[in-house]
Amino acid sequence: MERRAFYRNGWLPWLLLAPQLILVLVFFYWPTSQALYWAFTLEQAWGGGNTWVGFDNFLAIFADNKYWATVGRSAFYAIAATGLSMAVALILAMFADRALSGTKLFQSVFVWPYAIAAPAAGVAFRFIFSPEAGLIGAVNQIWPGIWDPSTVGWHALAMVIICHAWLGIGYNFIFFLAALQMVPRSLSEAGAMDGARPFRRMLDLQLPLIAPTVFFLLIMNIISSFTDSFGLIDVMTEGGPIGATEVMVYKIYFDGFKGLDYSGAAAQSIVLMLLVISLTFVQFKWVERRVHYN
């Protein structure tokens, strides 16, 4: 992993690293430590500074049923969006990997959702799922009120999850396709000689070989479902109706900037951060094991 280091000028590497290190310090480590500080303190009224309150802020959010509902909702959101997106991308990659004429064209289009800003997709999906806009509206004419994300909570949540899953298709597809293309063709040919049908070869030969990629993407997707949902939700539902689409990130933003509850928002940030860190560690452990397998 280490390569031979060639130069040993004392100050030059530091000069090269300085801009990046300063930015990282100012915009990553400082705010994070600030969030930690706020999470363990409470701002006094009348500008009395912050007083240390230990775990009180955490106890307060953990005692709040609404917070646990938000956590549960975020977990559901993450699992559903990840599952949906990865399933679609995997199926498409499996079929698009075959050397058929025209697959190149399909392959390029399947990548497109990657390029789209979440709020832009949010606007499009909000129109698609809007009961008065006529796409779903036709169904609503036959069964009035069967679909309305602006008033029915789970309709709204489903709409946001589907949009999130759609946005992830491009990214997941790229990784699945690359992994499949690294599987040696000879393996599939050997399988064919043994009389394995195409479906069997996909499930028993290719899928196990790309399992590391599946796992890598699984964690990546779950992390991004927890953290990247803000733009989508802000444009589609603003957390409504009645909190039905309020996930952890949105609640942090809302409590921090609208509720001006810095300590509560900071405590929630720390919980989310710990979640992201533990997921990342799971991923690292796996990558480590993978290296040993090779």
Partner 1 sequence: MIERSPFFDFVSYAAMVIGLVLVLIPFWVVIVAGSQSLQEVARVPFSMLPSSHLMENIQAAWARADLGPKLINSFIVAAGVTIGKITLAAFSAFAIVFFNFRARMICFWAIFITLMLPLEVRIVPTYSIAANALLPFQVLLDTLGITWLVQSVSGVQIALNWNLLNSYTGLILPLIATATGTFLYRQFFMTIPDELVEASKMDGSGPMGFFWDVLIPLSRTNMLALATIMFVSSWNQYLWPLLVTTDRANFGTVVMQLKALIPAQNGTPDWNVTMAGALIIMLPPLLVVALMQRWFVRGLISRDK
C-alpha count within 13 angstroms, C-beta hemisphere, residue 202:
13
Burial class (CB within 10 angstroms; exposed 0-12, middle 13-18, buried 19+) of 132: exposed
Q: What is the 3-state secondary structure (H, E, C) of 102-122?
A: CHHHHHHHHHHHHHCCHHHHH
Contact with partner 1 (CB under 8 A): which of 13, 72, 144, 208?
A: 13
β-strand partners of 137: none
Rounded least distance, CB 157 to partner 1, Å: 19
Q: Residue 6 — φ and ψ, nearest 5°? A: -100, -35
Say whether residue 55 binds partner 1 (CB under 8 A).
no
Per DSSP, the three-state class of 43 is strand
- CA angle 9/12/15 to nearest 5° reads 155
Rounded least distance, CB 13 to partner 1, Å: 4
Pick 40 or 262: Cβ nearer partner 1? 262
Rounded least distance, CB 46 to partner 1, Å: 19
Angstrom distance (rounded) from CA 290 to CA 294: 7
Say whether residue 30 binds partner 1 (CB under 8 A).
yes
Burial class (CB within 10 angstroms; exposed 0-12, middle 13-18, buried 19+) of 251: buried
Contact with partner 1 (CB under 8 A): which of 59, 87, 178, 211?
A: 178
Angstrom distance (rounded) from CA 174 to CA 185: 19
Rounded least distance, CB 117 to partner 1, Å: 4
Pick 12 or 59: Cβ nearer partner 1? 12
Contact with partner 1 (CB under 8 A): which of 55, 66, 68, 198?
A: 198
Say whether residue 280 binds partner 1 (CB under 8 A).
yes
Rounded least distance, CB 277 to partner 1, Å: 5
Burial class (CB within 10 angstroms; exposed 0-12, middle 13-18, buried 19+) of 164: buried
Contacts (CB under 8 A) with partner 1, residues 85-144: 88, 91-92, 95-96, 98, 100, 103, 106, 108-128, 130, 132-135, 137-138, 141
Pick 157 or 272: Cβ nearer partner 1? 272
Pick 8 or 65: Cβ nearer partner 1? 8
- CA angle 14/18/23 to nearest 5° reads 155
Say whether residue 45 binds partner 1 (CB under 8 A).
no
Say whether residue 171 binds partner 1 (CB under 8 A).
yes
Contact with partner 1 (CB under 8 A): which of 74, 172, 188, 245?
A: 188
Could you tell me which stretch among 2-10, 48-56, 64-72, 152-160 binds partner 1 (CB under 8 A)? 2-10
β-strand partners of 43: 50
Q: Residue 263 — φ and ψ, nearest 5°? A: -65, -45
CB 89 within 8 A of CB 109: no
Residue 31 preceded by cis peptide, ω within 30 = no
Say whether residue 259 binds partner 1 (CB under 8 A).
no
Contacts (CB under 8 A) with partner 1, residues 228-257: 228, 230-231, 234-235, 249, 252-253, 256-257
Say whether residue 227 binds partner 1 (CB under 8 A).
yes
Rounded least distance, CB 248 to partner 1, Å: 9
- How many residues touch partner 1 under the rule CB under 8 A: the total is 102
